Every structure is written in C-alpha cells, then in structure tokens.
Structure 1
Amino acid sequence: MDVCFYYIHQVARSWKNLKFVATTTNSLFHAKFKHMYPKFKDDANVIISSWILLSTSWVEVDLVFIPLLPANKAHWKLRVLDIKAHTQRVLKSSTYNDIKVRIGIEPFVSMLSCLMKCVGIWKKDSIELNMDLDFSLPQQKNGHDCGIYMVKYAEYMLYDNIGSMPMKFNAGRARLNVASLLFQYQEIGKARKTVRLTGGESIFLE
C-alpha cells in the first residue's frame, strides 16, 4: 500500500495544472496514531512529544492523503484531510459496515484535530474536524483492487474533478500505467542524483 501512496505523492509533486497542493502519509503514520490512541485518551499532550515524520510540511498543503485500514484488516480506504475545510473525507471502493468505519476512524479524528491545533495550523478555538463518508464513488468488483481505486480517487481529487470519474475502468491497465510512471520517477531520480554527483555539468543516460 505504501507504493500506492508513494505514487500519489509523486503525482501531487510533478503533475501539471492540479487544483490542490497535496501530500501523503504512509502505513507507519497510520500504525503510530493507532498505537498512541490509548495514551492520548488519558493525556492529549502525548501527541506533541511523539516523533511523527512527514514528507512535506502540512502548513504548505491543502490536502493530505492518508491510508486507513480497519481493525480486522479487511479493506484499505482513502482518507483525505482537507485542512482549510476542517474535514476528513473517507473514500471507500467497497461496501463495508458504516459503523465499523466510523469506529475505526474516530481515534484519528480527535488526534488529528489536536495535532493541527498544537502545531498552530488551526486556531485553538477552531471547530473540530468533521467526518464525511463518501459512498457515491466507483466500486471494485473483487477483494484485491482497493489500492488502485485509492490511486484513481486521489488523481481525480487533485484535479477537483472526482465527480467525473467513470463508474467502471480497467483496473489492470491502470496498474500498468502506475508501474510505468513509477519506473519513470525512479529514472528521473537517478538522473538528478547523477547531476548532483557530477556537479551538474554533464549527464549520461543509457
């Protein structure tokens, strides 16, 4: 799943004419928040003293894409934190018990609200984080396509055009496109590293 979110991060960094500035977290972020929650319920300050690695400062972005896995690990979902709107949107690609989703996400709602206020992104007296469960999006037909559906949701959201996403698409072809672009990003990274090592004077690509 972290590969999917790495891809989304690269899309948010490099694609043109996007409507939002965005970043991502990963499964470690999800696991760390889940692990901290019992202590957080007793002392909210625990979130301040914890080391949480972010790829991009949240002060600089509009949206944060976050993976969500319920307690029974049945199905990955995409959480989208809209910083300006104080909203956390949950995008699901498969029918799943609404109550279980809400129970699974409640710890993150309270902890993210506290984190945003503690680091000064939101004011201390600002409204709490709202939660929006979206059931209207295209749904997968099997039990193993949740990753590519999250990728497609994120792509359309970055263009503020998720309402136009086709209800059916070729998941296999979409995965090949993602793999191809990931390879390109890897080669670009190698090229940049070569430029740095050579002082930027020359570059050789086979």
Structure 2
Amino acid sequence: MGALTDSRKRLSADHCLSADHRLPYPSLSPPSLIPPFKRAKLSPIPEHDPSTSDFPPIRPSPQIIHSAAAASTSSTPGPSPSSITASTPLPHRRRLPPPPFQRSIHGPQRILRVFQLGGAARAYATGHSWFSPQSPPPRPLGLQQYVELVNSVTHPSPPTPAAITNATRQAEVAPFEVVAIEEDEDERKQQNEEEVMGSVVVRRVPPYKELYEASRQKRDAKLKTLEFEVRLTEQGRLSLERLAEALPRITPKKEEVPEPFVPLTDEDEEMVRQALHGKNRHERLAVHEPSNIVITREIMQCLNNQEWLNDEAINLYLDLLKERELREPCRFLKCHFFNTFFYKKLISSGYDYKAVRRWTTKRKLGYSLIDCDKIFVPIHKEVHWCLAVINIRDKKFQYLDSLGGMDMKVLNVLAKYIVDEVKDKSGQQMDVLSWKQEGVKNLPLQENGWDCGMFMLKYIDFYSRDMDLIFGQKQMHYFRRRTAKEILSLRAE
C-alpha cells in the first residue's frame, strides 16, 4: 500500500515535471523545486473530466508505464497497471466510501496557511462564493491555480478604461480634504479655522486633534463645572463693581458723628437707668477719692429731666474734665477749672483775694494759672448757672449765659483777680486794660427753666476741646444721660 501511494506521488510529480507537460512559468524553474501534488492516501484516482478540470489530463510517460508493467510481472500477485489507472481499490483493503465530490490533484495546503489565505484564497482562485447556493462548490487549488493566485497578488492586472473613467468622475464630484500639519513652533498658535477654496478644504488642525478636543469637552464634566463657576464669579465681580459705582449716588453720605455726640451703648443706657431710677436714694454710686466727693443716688437724680444740677455733680464733672486733659494733653487745651465755691469765696466780703490765695499754689496744682490757655469760673446766681472765662490765649474776658444775659461786674472782678494772682505767684505786673470784655454772642440758649446747669457744663466741655458751640436744646436729654454715665464710670470722654 505504501509503495502504491509513493508511486502515485511520483507519478503526479513526474507528470508535472515532464518535458511534455512542463508549466510555462519561469518563476517555478528549476522543476526540482516544485512540490509534489498531495492528496489522501486511500482516495481513488479520479478519472479526468474535461468539463470540470482547468488543467490538461495526466498522461503518464513511457518510463512510468514500463515500471508499472515490470511490477506486474513480479512474483508477488497484485493489480495490473490497468487497474491502477482505472482507480480500482486494492482487494485486501476495506473499500472506503466515495468522497462527496470528485477531488482533483491540488497544491500543498501548508504554503497557503503560511500566507493565511485558507478557504478564502481557494474561493478567490476558483471564482466561486462560499455563500452563494447557486454556485458550484469550490475546488481545491491546484498547482496552476496557486501560481496564478501568487502572480495576481504580486503583479495586479491594470485597471480597465471604464474603471478609470468612473474613478475620475467620483474625484471631480466629491471634494477632497488637504490637511496641513505644521511641526514647528507655530503649531501652538494653530486655529480651528477652515479655508474653503472651490472643492478643496484646508484644515489648520489635524482631524484627530479636533476629535480629541470635542470628546474632551463633552466628557469632562469637571471642566464644565469649573467653566460655569468662572462665569458665575465673573458676573458677580462685575455686579459688585457696578454696585460700588451706584452706591454713592443712591446712598446719602453718612456724616461722621463728632466725639461729644457719640451715642451710648445699650449697657450704658441700662446702667444710667438703674442709677437714676433706683429706690435706695442713699446708695453710694460713685466715690471720687482725689476730690473726696461721694455721689449717692439722691445726688445723681439731679441729672434726670426737668431737674436742676447741684454743686456735687458739677464739681465732680469738672474734676473729670481736668483728668481727661492730663490723660490726653495733645487733644485738649491746657485749662484750669474752678469749682462752684470759688467765686462765692472771692466776693464773700466784697473783693477778697486773700480768701482764695492758697487755692492756686503751684505745689497744689502742679502748674501756674498764667501758663493755662483758659480758666473757667462757674457763676451761680441764686437759681441760675452762668460761666465766666479768663481766656489768656486770646486775651479776653468772656461771659456765657444760656439765657442771653450779661454781667460786667463778674468780668471786672476776674480781671482784678488775675492781676493779683500773677503778681503774687511770679512777681510780675500784668496789664489787662487792653483785654477785651465780651458777652459771647450766638450762644446755644436754653428753652426751659431747668437746663442752665447742663448748658454751663457743655460750654466748658466744648471750649476745653477748642470746639465751636454746636449743640442746642434738643441735645440736652442726651447730655444728661452721658454726664451721668461719665460720673458713674469716673471718666470723662
């Protein structure tokens, strides 16, 4: 059996390599390199059918016929050469079922697998479709079909004139795209702009970059959120800028409150209310040790509305004004504040300088009166309080009456006193004849019969600040509560 199979292979090879049937392809020479045909070992040799074969029938050479005859004359019985050519099976082998279709001698399958062609190549070579039921089943590739397939791949056939005409028409109708890619530094400045010239579209940016940017913008949700926040912040900033420009036009200018009119806090208001409206009238509310003045609720209640101020409240407040000046000398004038008993003592028995001579010693005060800018003297006239000022800085004797009155006698007494004081303390002779004596005009006047003491204290307060008298009757309620708060805290503001 093996000898018969080998003989068939040699027969096919000798047939392909014979001089009479040598293939006309120069690429396959020399003939010794042509691989032998290959088929199943037990497959019968099909008879040649000219209608179904693309290659000429196999005609064995005389050498092959002679070798077959010699084999038949040997001592071993076997089939005759005619039986071999007639494809009769061997008598001592089981007959195999016939194949579904006649197989022709084909080329080596391994070479086709190297090129990964497989069944598709066989279908292409035979011109039949695997999926068409009307087409006959494909035949395996023979040696000739294999060579044709190789030549068709390496040397494609030239296109026909009809195909060239169709391709030209499609190129003329459909516009084509030219992509300009710059690889130098100008690539960073590329813009997504397109210039259309006829049927030619020129892009400055490659399509893959456009697709990448479009995909990134669509899918990057965080970037969209940040862009929204940036736009929102920018709109808010622009709104604030417009509001800042419009506020000065729609908002009235808020004037700064002068220091003498700073409103009291809620805590201060509550403290003053308890001090002025408590039940225990003898309760001590404040004790000023330097002047040894004790303020009880009974004394403090003189600061209620429609009450006359008493000497204790006035004298303690004047001491607090002096302490304020010593605490902040740069903000206030250098002043001296006589208490409510000074003028009474000076004129107790006519004019008596010796009665008040020791009141102003330098050891007691720490300074001389002649060095002060202003000296304030409270004047009490039975039921009315007035103020006299020795204005050394401006060389004036001033009289301030909240009812608009004038008393020249008071100014003459004070002029004589300051001459005696300077002569007694420094030995100098002071000429006050050239000084001006005036009743201050355009004073804020009281409009009732009980705020004269409060007006006098505010005259002293504003003059010690070197301020104009810019208050009136409507501020008296506030000044009473503020004075009570400063006495309770023992600190003038």
- TM-score where L is the length of structure 2: 0.32
Partner of 2:432: 127
Q: Secondary structure at the match of 1:53?
A: helix
Task: State whether residues 398 and 411 of structure 2, in contact with CA within 8 Å, keep that contact through their aligned partners in structure 1.
Answer: no
Task: State whether residues 69 and 77 of structure 1, in contact with CA within 8 Å, keep that contact through their aligned partners in structure 2.
Answer: yes
Partner of 1:65: 376
Q: Secondary structure at the match of 2:377?
A: strand
Task: State whether residues 90 and 133 of structure 1, in contact with CA within 8 Å, keep that contact through their aligned partners in structure 2.
Answer: yes
Q: Secondary structure at the match of 2:490?
A: helix
1:150 aligned to 2:462? no
Residue from 316, 319, 325 that aligns with 1:9: 319
Residue from 80, 94, 102 that aligns with 2:403: 94
Partner of 2:412: 106
19 and 141 in structure 1: CA distance in 2 versus 1, 3 angstrom threshold: same
Cα distance in 1 for partners of 2:430, 2:354 equals 18
Q: Secondary structure at the match of 2:466?
A: coil
5 and 81 in structure 1: CA distance in 2 versus 1, 3 angstrom threshold: farther
Task: State whether residues 48 and 118 of structure 1, in contact with CA within 8 Å, keep that contact through their aligned partners in structure 2.
Answer: no
Cα distance in 2 for partners of 1:89, 1:178 equals 24
Cα distance in 2 for partners of 1:127, 1:109 equals 7
Residue from 384, 390, 399 that aligns with 1:81: 390
Cα distance in 1 for partners of 2:345, 2:464 equals 26
Task: State whether residues 5 and 24 of structure 1, in contact with CA within 8 Å, keep that contact through their aligned partners in structure 2.
Answer: no
Task: State whether residues 387 and 399 of structure 2, in contact with CA within 8 Å, keep that contact through their aligned partners in structure 1.
Answer: yes
Cα distance in 1 for partners of 2:480, 2:416 equals 34
Cα distance in 2 for partners of 1:173, 1:127 equals 39
Q: Deviations over 1:36-61 (max 9, x none)?
A: 435x5xxxxxx257544247342553
Residue from 450, 471, 474 that aligns with 1:169: 474
Q: What is the identity, as a one-letter code, of the residue corresponding to 1:63?
A: K
**Structure whose alpha-carbon radius of gyration is higher:** 2
1:19 aligned to 2:332? yes
74 and 27 in structure 1: CA distance in 2 versus 1, 3 angstrom threshold: same
Q: What is the identity, as a one-letter code, of the residue corresponding to 1:68?
A: I
Q: Deviations over 1:56-79 (max 9, x none)?
A: 342553222111134xx2521111
127 and 112 in structure 1: CA distance in 2 versus 1, 3 angstrom threshold: closer
CA RMSD of aligned residues (A): 2.7
Q: What is the identity, as a one-letter code, of the residue corresponding to 2:378?
A: P
156 and 11 in structure 1: CA distance in 2 versus 1, 3 angstrom threshold: same
13 and 147 in structure 1: CA distance in 2 versus 1, 3 angstrom threshold: same
Q: What is the identity, as a one-letter code, of the residue corresponding to 1:30?
A: Y
Q: What is the identity, as a one-letter code, of the residue corresponding to 1:22?
A: C
Which runs of 5 or more residues in structure 2 are unaligned?
1-309
Cα distance in 2 for partners of 1:82, 1:51 equals 20
170 and 119 in structure 1: CA distance in 2 versus 1, 3 angstrom threshold: same
Partner of 2:487: 182
Q: Which has the higher contact order (CA 8 A, sep 6+)?
A: 1
Cα distance in 2 for partners of 1:155, 1:116 equals 26
Cα distance in 1 for partners of 2:454, 2:350 equals 29
Aligned length: 172
Partner of 2:202: none
Partner of 1:195: none
Q: Secondary structure at the match of 1:18?
A: coil
147 and 51 in structure 1: CA distance in 2 versus 1, 3 angstrom threshold: same
How much does 1:150 deviate?
Answer: 1.2
Percent same amino acid among aligned pairs?
A: 17
Task: State whether residues 318 and 339 of structure 2, in contact with CA within 8 Å, keep that contact through their aligned partners in structure 1.
Answer: no
Q: Secondary structure at the match of 2:348?
A: helix
Task: State whether residues 66 and 80 of structure 1, in contact with CA within 8 Å, keep that contact through their aligned partners in structure 2.
Answer: yes
Q: Deviations over 1:22-47 (max 9, x none)?
A: 12111221111112435x5xxxxxx2
